[in-house]
A = this chain, B = another copy of it.
Amino acid sequence: MSDSAPHLRLGTCDYPEHVPEDRWAAYARGQRELGLTFVRVAEFAWSRMEPRPGEYDWAWLDRAVEAYHAQGLRVVLCTPTATPPAWLIRAHPDILPHDAQGRVREFGSRRHYDFASPVFREHSRRITRALAERYGEHPAVAGWQTDNEFGCHGTARSYGGASAAAFPGWLRQKYGTLDALNEAWGNVFWSMEYGDWEEIRPPALTVTEPNPSHVLDYARFSSDLIRDFQAEQVALLRELSPGRFVTHNFMIFESGFDHYAVARGLDFVTWDNYPTGMLEFFAPPGVGEALKTRYARTGHPDLVGFNHDLYRGLLKGHGGWEAETGKTQPHTPGFWVMEQQCGQVNWAPANPLPADGAVGLWTAQAWAHGADVVSYFRWRAATMAQEVMHSGLLRHDETPDRGHAEVAGLDLGSFPLGEVPARVALLHDYESLWLYDQQPHSAALSYWAQTVAYYSALRSLGVDVDVVSADADLGGYAVAVAPAVTLVPPERAARWQAAVEGDGLRLVCGPRTAFRTPGGQTWAQGQFGRLSELVGARLLNYDSLRPGLEQAVGGGYAAQFWAESYRLAGAQATHRYQGGPLDGQPAVIRHGPVTVIGAHSEALIRDVLRDVLEQAGVATSDLPDGLRLSRRAGVTLVQNWTGENVAWGGRTLGPVSFEVRAEG
């Protein structure tokens, strides 16, 4: 913590229990020599901490922590609850979760627990307490990670067992009476009305699709379970490890729970950034094969950037821990990349090597989007078990791998800490995601696909973006973009209206905005529900276009997958549909500072956004394909994500490279 000015720091994830003890000192020395500050350990080590029920073995971990300490490394410890040991599952098989097909998800990998299991909750608290009592005040320990990647492998929801048993109670708490629940869900629709709380099951294995309101509440219920599960660990860590941070490593595009709620009790947020796997495995529908091949060795800048900006915004407006000072501050904390890809991953259908320069580019991008720490996964490639094909900074044979060289070449001083000066907020909402994806109506679209299309348009215009909760304080922003916030309760509508009318905010909405009620129904008065006056229009028609079927929009645009039109009630049409069932109807409307884009067309979205940004005084640039700008702390990171030279601002950037410039 003693360099001249605050700047990006690095770390790695290490698993001393995976290698012979005689390697520990050498590894820690290598980590220090590479310039790392942090090392995350003991992530999945429950069976070594507690080999038999109640018999703790701390000796090995004491020595491991000492090895890092001896090299001046700061240790991040993990609660090991992502991997309950075999003896615990055998004693309490009802800990196991159930999948949506009614099958028990068995022991033998990880994340094999139901968040609702009372007995697992008890053991989660017990092991957390034991670990925190042992290491909570150890001088090497900088902080804590809870569990690992909540929701990964589709584990955010269990569709039977403990979760199924707990669901009726949660509903009773929420609704009080079955009449209220039946009304909220519209259960009259197919005689789905309940007469007893115990009749209510998880929304799985129904003959045809379940009620979306049922699905929505099951998602809320499951999200609450994760929030409460983690809160129990956080409370213990606060008590037993004063002055240390507590965080969690969130996963790429994870959709199974409300990240804002789960992040709330943390000091800051971390996430796990695997750009090539993200593109190959997690890309939303609409990202085609050609694009996947083009960016196979770097990942796509906007998919990665979106996740950075999303996780940076989770705790926006809340105070948090500061890496430089090691203290909790009242201002919004930075975030970490807890696991940063530094070679190839092992879990996508194809797992290409990163391009030369990609590890550096990813690190620089993470910094420019607000990361205070980037921690590489993992120190040495595992020689055993599920991840033997995953790379690390060291190869299986302990020689430095390609990523190691790139990390060694980074000039950390060129990455100063400071604010990301975003004047544009992109509004995001997990409940909208759950509803949208339950009824996408057009298989080629999804909540993430629609949301990322708007994000990518903004980034292609050279604009910095905060991804924030749809309920965030919008003060200070020039423009807010709500690409797919389909669920707008009255309070949210009122908040947006106040920001627009009171604060001069410009608001841009995508299709399906304010379509659904908090109960998951549609507004009886139709879209835009409580937002209608602000928008100055009502929904007229919506069209779901099969791939290959387009709907033209005046000005040479073509909507794909989705097109909706409006009946004007104050707003004006800036673009109209041409031909087809929507001929002549408004495709884009403007009502003073509010714009709604009804047609899903990347070119149209970009052009409309450019207009609005310029009117709002936000400067835009038409960036060349694959070039991106990100600003932080008064400087601009210019990034070339392509394999070719690209010119920008009078200079040429080589393939897969970056420059930090004084201005963009």
Q: A residues bordering B, Cβ < 8 Å?
A: 17-18, 44-48, 51-52, 80, 82-87, 89-90, 97, 101-112, 152-153, 155, 185-196, 198-199, 201, 203-214, 280, 289-290, 292-293, 296-297, 344, 346, 349-356, 382-389, 395-397, 399, 401-402, 439, 441-444, 516, 519, 521-527, 538-539, 541-549, 561, 567, 580-583
| Given A188-B48, A352-B549, A388-B439: A521 and B204 interface contact (C-beta under 8 Å) | no
Q: Given A104-B205, A105-B205, A207-B112, are A389 and B441 neighbors across the interface (CB < 8 Å)?
A: yes
- Stoichiometry, copies per complex: 3
- Say how far A318's CB is from chain B's closest CB, in angstroms: 32
Contacts A/B (CB < 8 Å), 6 sampled:
A109-B190, A186-B383, A346-B439, A349-B442, A383-B522, A389-B439
Dominant SS at the A interface? loop
Task: Tell me the smallest distance from the CB of A202 to a CB of chain B, in Å.
Answer: 9
Q: A388: nearest residue on chain B (CB-CB)? A: B522
Q: Are B205 and A289 in contact (CB under 8 A)?
A: no
Given A80-B191, A104-B205, A384-B521, 20 further pairs, Cβ under 8 A: A18-B186, A18-B188, A47-B191, A83-B191, A84-B191, A86-B196, A108-B207, A108-B214, A109-B192, A109-B207, A186-B384, A212-B388, A346-B439, A350-B546, A350-B561, A353-B580, A384-B519, A388-B516, A395-B539, A397-B524
Nearest neighbor of A193 in chain B, beta-carbon distance: B47
Which are the 9 A-B pairs with shortest beta-carbon distances?
A: A186-B384, A397-B526, A189-B385, A350-B546, A47-B191, A83-B191, A108-B206, A349-B443, A293-B548
- Let me know if A212 and B385 touch, CB within 8 A: yes
Q: Contact at A546–B108, with CB atoms within 8 Å? A: no
In Å, the complex CA distance between A409 and B598 comes to 29
Among B82, B289, B546, point to the contact of A280 (Cβ < 8 A): B546
On whether the beta carbons of B297 and A190 are closer than 8 Å, the reply is no
Is the CB–CB distance between B112 and A525 below 8 Å?
no
CB proximity of A107 to chain B, nearest CB, Å: 7
Interface centre among A193, A213, A386, A401 (most CB of B within 10 A): A386
Cβ-defined contact, B90 with A196, below 8 A:
yes
State the Cβ distance, A374 to closest chain B Cβ, in Å: 21
Known interface pairs A192-B86, A441-B351, A544-B350; A356-B110 also in contact (CB < 8 Å): no
> Shortest Cβ distance from A366 into chain B, in angstroms?
21
Q: Do B110 and A385 touch across chains, with their CB atoms under 8 A apart?
A: no
**CB contact between A108 and one of B210, B525, B538 (< 8 Å): that residue:** B210
